[in-house]
Structure 1
Amino acid sequence: MKEQANGFNPEHCRVYGKLFGPMNRVLVNLGGWRRLAHRRYLRLLVAVAILSPLIFYCLHGSSILSENDLNENQGLQSVDVGRPKIYESTSGKGNDILLTLVRNSELIDMIDTIERFERSFNSKYHYQWWFMNDEEFTEKFKEEVSSRVSGGARFIKVPGEMWTYPANIDKEKAAASREDYSKKKVMYGESESYRFMCRFNSGLFYKLNELRDVEYYWRIEPGVHFDCGITYDVFQYMRQNNKLYAFNMALQEDVRTIPSLWNTTIEFFKKNPQYLADKNNAEFVTDDGGSSYNLCHFWSNFEIANLRFYRSDAYDKYFQYLDDKGGFFYERWGDAPVHTLAASFMLPVDSLHFVANTGYMHNPNQDCPVDEEVRDILHCDCNPRKDFTWHKWSCVSKFFDVNNYPRPTSVANLKEYYPYVLENT
């Protein structure tokens, strides 16, 4: 039976308690509290302080992203009926696009990626490919790219206000942080533009005026490979099955880049428990019930998402909370862990989709089916010995294990659990 949106739901209490119970126990066990806890009235005050958010959450329930309410809830506004359509009405497509942030200097890598992805997927479905740049695209870039994209191309100049510091950032402090990261030899630690990019990808790109009518986007970066055939229309599959976020790779983040991101995220959800989804993916990102972050994240250089999620009140408030803390500049918060934590807490796990066996390669990691029969069926041109997807350092296995999902690693499992992969082979 469907629970009322504002009614009592025991599942809400279970999820909330699992996330925040260990942290509350830590607070109670601090030395000062321990010495005073024998006093009855103090014990009562501590109990009220700890339980009041839980009581509030259990009474109010999760306000967004119930799988049955994806189109009704104010947190996920769908594209309005009557807005311009990107494709002909007879195409059967939604307003879905391929999307790349790229510079003119990356033209050669971009051409290679387009040619590979057209062979793997887009030559069958002809989706438009839109390109973003913080500078103006050259005519040469536009000509070379347009001639290779089967669904047509569009070129977008990112406004300067989206590629700079927000007003609250102390630039001297940010510069000192970059210098410190550089000394520690953290990847991109010294880069100012990398931080602009991470902030842009975390909370700004979907606000571009040019993307106002877009529903799903597939992020593809220059220089990546797709070395297997993608046999089904992933956009249509996600739309028809209420999937809101899809990924291909998952690994652990460098903890030095995000030392305060987890605690900041937990602070946000303690203040906004209504944004925790029922049956979420929290167990993927924490191994101890919420006390710490295990650093697993979806590698966002391959992601497909419904922009309704990013445009929701929940995500917008989360990003603003992060932005106000300054971690994109005082640390080196990446959009991958930001997207992962948001999707894992705010979305029901059933709305997440793993896009398996694509042959995706983003240096230094490769997705290559380890099963020879799968590789043959999908016409893969990759070395299974270099597969990272099911490597012990990958987090993909954890995603499947904590959610009790069968792995798409054999033809037998594909036929039984993921038949859509084989329908067009």
Structure 2
Amino acid sequence: MMTPMRYVLLVLIIIISLHYILSFSHEGYGNATSLSNIRDQLHFGGEKGAPPYKTPLPDEYIHPPKVANPLERKANATFVILARNSDIQGVAMSMKQAEDRFNKEFNYPWVFLNEEPFNDEFKKRTRELTDAEVHYGLIPKEDWFQPDWIDEDRAKAAREKMVKDNVIYGGSLPYRNMCRFNSGFFYRHELLKNYRYYWRVEPNVQFFCDLHYDPFLVMQDQNKVYGFTVSLYEYAATIPTLWQEVKNFLKENPGLMPGDNAMKFLSDDGGETYNRCHFWSNFEIGDLDFWRGEAYSKFFDYLDSKGGFYYERWGDAPVHSIGAALFARKDQIHFFNDIGYRHEPFQHCPQGEAHSKGKCWCSEKDNFDYQWYSCLKRYDALFQ
């Protein structure tokens, strides 16, 4: 018979375990999953096949290190960082690694965006880290702050409830502004309007491997629209009505989805429910024209009109992921297997030949790809 003390200890262990699972990521993107979700990740039906990233890149993309000049052919592309002046140390760390691992050979420009003007220290330190062009942009107020038509009483009540429920960033209005901006406005900024491709970089991230080919040219030549390194489950409490609104949009706007889309990455029942898988958008290499296109523009405007960025806490990661999965072909979504990357607490560390070829300094054992809360298995299954 269990004593009262043992019973109390058992309850505490269960509570701590659940808290750990639900709050594993500082972004709140842990997997509050069900047994059926775990089962689905362990087995996928269909014909056997390999996803595209497991096919080596053609030799013409690769050139040896320490070449004086990079390939003459370049894409119309840029790095993009959304940051505040106070983020300068984290920005410098991320930028330095991106330059050392890749950009010192390719010299792509950098675009920095902020809701306030960048100060002289920020500009000095970032300019010292690259030989490429650097541009600093101010975000228009109407693209950043909560719109006037949002019912603030309702939004405030939602924030307070999320704080009470311990939802990560649940009480943060600036975080919501950031999610909405990244979902639907960054690609419209004046400094980005003449670019076709972008690589999103955030402060305090790590790049583990040398990269001696141009991922922007891979996007361009192979007609890719979205590239990722980490995929996982969204925190359910942040998006209670998002999928219903997605279904409403698709019903009202038939014909926008290509036949060979990636719906199976998002849903296990043909679109009836959302399994919460998404690409972790703190790393993205993407096609700006895809976001500017008719399908995604209509999609974002519809979602924005529902107020879920403020009445709930819709993140740009699920919004971008759903948009890419539904409005692009599945072969236009690319897993950059050889780009070693970490955003706390998750990392993608290339394995085997990719690890040695890239001179990666991450441990192959510390790799998120096929952990039970990763969605990479579902991406792989699109091609099986």
TM-score, length of structure 2 as denominator length: 0.80
Structure 1 residue 402 corresponds to structure 2 residue 382: yes
Residue in structure 2 matched with residue 389 of structure 1 by the alignment: 369
Counterpart pick for 2:276 among 295, 304, 309: 295
Structure 1 residue 91 displacement after superposition: 4.5
Residue in structure 2 matched with residue 326 of structure 1 by the alignment: 307
Structure 1 residue 152 displacement after superposition: 2.1
Deviations 1:164-205 (A, max 9, x none): 122321011111111111111111101000000000000111
Q: Which moved further from structure 2: 247-256 or 270-279? A: 270-279
Deviations 1:81-118 (A, max 9, x none): xxxxxxxxx95323210000011111111111111111
Structure 1 residue 235 corresponds to structure 2 residue 245: no
Q: Which moved further from structure 2: 302-311 or 158-167? A: 158-167
Q: What amino acid sits opposite 1:380 in the alignment?
A: C
For residues 387 and 351 of structure 1, what CA distance do their matches in structure 2 show?
Answer: 24
For residues 333 and 131 of structure 2, what CA distance do their matches in structure 1 show?
Answer: 28
Cα 1:364–1:91 shift into 2, 3 Å: same
Counterpart pick for 2:296 among 301, 312, 315: 315
Cα RMSD between the aligned structures?
A: 1.2
Q: How many residues align?
A: 314
For residues 212 and 231 of structure 2, what CA distance do their matches in structure 1 show?
Answer: 22
Deviations 1:282-308 (A, max 9, x none): 000001121210000001111111111
For residues 292 and 401 of structure 1, what CA distance do their matches in structure 2 show?
Answer: 18
For residues 246 and 261 of structure 2, what CA distance do their matches in structure 1 show?
Answer: 15
Residue in structure 1 matched with residue 355 of structure 2 by the alignment: 375
Q: What amino acid sits opposite 1:268 in the alignment?
A: F
Query: Aligned ranges for residues 40-59 of structure 1 at < 5 Å?
Result: none
For residues 238 and 126 of structure 2, what CA distance do their matches in structure 1 show?
Answer: 34
Residue in structure 2 matched with residue 155 of structure 1 by the alignment: 136
CA contact (8 A) 1:118 1:150 kept: no
For residues 185 and 350 of structure 2, what CA distance do their matches in structure 1 show?
Answer: 35
Query: Aligned ranges for residues 92-171 of structure 1 at < 5 Å?
Result: 92-171=73-152
Q: What amino acid sits opposite 1:383 in the alignment?
A: S
Larger Rg, first or second structure (1 or 2): 1
Structure 1 residue 210 displacement after superposition: 1.9
For residues 182 and 206 of structure 1, what CA distance do their matches in structure 2 show?
Answer: 31
CA contact (8 A) 1:328 1:334 kept: yes
Residue in structure 2 matched with residue 74 of structure 1 by the alignment: none
* 3-state SS, counterpart of residue 386 of structure 1: coil
Structure 1 residue 124 displacement after superposition: 1.2
Cα 1:245–1:104 shift into 2, 3 Å: same
Query: Gaps spanning 5+ residues in structure 2: where?
Result: 1-70
Once superposed, which parts of structure 1, at least 4 consecutive aligned residues long, lie more than 6 Å away?
none
Deviations 1:26-46 (A, max 9, x none): xxxxxxxxxxxxxxxxxxxxx
Structure 1 residue 215 corresponds to structure 2 residue 199: no
* 3-state SS, counterpart of residue 89 of structure 2: helix
Q: Which moved further from structure 2: 308-317 or 194-203? A: 308-317
Structure 1 residue 120 displacement after superposition: 1.2
CA contact (8 A) 2:135 2:191 kept: no
Deviations 1:23-79 (A, max 9, x none): xxxxxxxxxxxxxxxxxxxxxxxxxxxxxxxxxxxxxxxxxxxxxxxxxxxxxxxxx
For residues 169 and 103 of structure 2, what CA distance do their matches in structure 1 show?
Answer: 32
* 3-state SS, counterpart of residue 280 of structure 1: coil
CA contact (8 A) 2:111 2:191 kept: no
CA contact (8 A) 1:219 1:303 kept: yes
Query: Aligned ranges for residues 276-287 of structure 1 at < 5 Å?
Result: 276-287=257-268
Structure 1 residue 393 displacement after superposition: 1.6
Residue in structure 1 matched with residue 342 of structure 2 by the alignment: 361
Deviations 1:355-396 (A, max 9, x none): 11322000000111243x432221000122221122222101
Residue in structure 1 matched with residue 50 of structure 2 by the alignment: none
For residues 303 and 212 of structure 2, what CA distance do their matches in structure 1 show?
Answer: 38
Structure 1 residue 156 displacement after superposition: 0.5
* 3-state SS, counterpart of residue 217 of structure 1: strand
CA contact (8 A) 1:127 1:152 kept: yes
More helix by share: 1
For residues 276 and 166 of structure 1, what CA distance do their matches in structure 2 show?
Answer: 29
Sequence identity percentage: 41
For residues 75 and 209 of structure 2, what CA distance do their matches in structure 1 show?
Answer: 25
Query: Gaps spanning 5+ residues in structure 1: where?
Result: 1-89, 405-425
TM-score, length of structure 1 as denominator length: 0.72
For residues 219 and 185 of structure 2, what CA distance do their matches in structure 1 show?
Answer: 23
Q: What amino acid sits opposite 2:89 in the alignment?
A: I
Between the two structures, name the one with larger relative contact order (CA 8 Å, sep ≥ 6): 2
